[in-house]
Amino acid sequence: MHYQGTVYRPPSEANSILLQVTTGCSHNKCTFCGMYKGQRFTVTPEEIVFADIDYAAHHFPHARRLFLCDGDALILPHPRLLAILERIRSRLPRIVRVGIYANSKSLQSKTVDELTELRRLGLGIAYLGLESGDDPTLASINKGATSIQMIEMGRKAKLAGIQLSVTVLLGIAGPERSEIHALETGRVLSAIDPDYVGALSLMIEPGTAIHSEVEAGRFALPEPLAILQELRTMIAATTLSNGLFHANHASNYLPVRAKLPEEKSPTLALIDQALAGNLTLRPEFLRAL
Ligand code: SF4
């Protein structure tokens, strides 16, 4: 397989074939994100992608899942994505789900009919970084989309029948906007109604714009208990028809996994126990991105 730079994938794609169809991220401006810093966005030549699919078909013929890397591979032109998915279907017929990172811009570039066509060819899940539903926070982190656009794009993916996993970032609004960030994010998540929500707690990476903000004293992270309170407020404000709200990533202080709506009350009670000091939080040295 041909790989350039560091290849990222969602935790739930740990057992997937990783097929790098682009390198970097076409947006690459989010202030907290260091994943593709210094890396130019490029489209992998089709002959290399096809050679990798053939290699995977030879070496991993029984694989059930495949993930299209990098940052926002959905930005590829529709005909190119169609050709890739058709090749996967013909060479790797046992693949039951293809996953992809998406953002507001890449979802905007596709019609519902195009997304539906991609879904019919195997595109089963899109991972969308919302980070916050609070418009001033979205603007301050250069997310490149408003909450209304996020809602429209998330709904568009769902309308096409593609499962949606949405990532949110605890701590990203700082201490002052923590509560409004939690409430607004709950509002947007409820409006999108994704299949999965993944909450991560912000960790400041050197080399990012937000790191410079911290160094200059213009941004500070909320304290661990404030981040936990933010998570509680967010879950309380989130209504999903049938979704999983995960906050069990290694960056979080308390692992939480709630099926919504039915497990909301016991989950809030668990967080209350932690806020009251009755549960041990993950120590800083064990946190990781
Ligand atoms: S869209 Fe995603 S990959 Fe690109 S800069 Fe933002 S967080 Fe990073």
Residue from 29, 32, 35, 109 whose mutation best tests the ligand 1 pocket (most atoms within 8 A of CB): 35
Q: What is the percent of the chain where pLDDT is above 70?
A: 100
> What tens digit of pLDDT does each residue of 205-217 get?
999 999 999 999 9
pLDDT at 114: 98
Q: How many Å lie between the centroid of ligand 1 and the Cα of residue 283? A: 27
**Which token pair is 108?**
């905007």
Alpha carbon nearest to ligand 1 atom 8, residue: 33
Judge if the beta carbon of residue 103 lies within 6 A of ligand 1: yes
Residue 18 has pLDDT above 80, yes or no: yes
In this prediction, residue 272 carries a pLDDT of: 97
Res 289 pLDDT > 80: no
The pLDDT confidence band at residue 5, using thresholds 50, 70 and 90, is confident
Q: What is the per-residue pLDDT for 201? A: 95
pLDDT, mean over the chain: 95
pLDDT at 71: 85
Strands 243-246 and 257-260, sheet pairing: antiparallel
The predicted pLDDT at position 285 comes to 82
Q: For residue 233, what are the CA distances in angstroms to 8, 69, 179, 227, 236?
A: 30, 33, 7, 10, 5
Rounded CA-CA distance 124/130 in Å is: 19
pLDDT score of 250: 85
- What separation in Å is there between the alpha carbon of 266 and the centre of ligand 1? 33
Q: Quick one: pLDDT at residue 99?
A: 98
Mean pLDDT of 156-180: 97
Determine the angle formed by the axes of helices 46-59 and 78-91, rounding to 10 degrees: 20
- pLDDT, residue 108, reads 95
Across residues 30-50, what is the average pLDDT?
A: 93
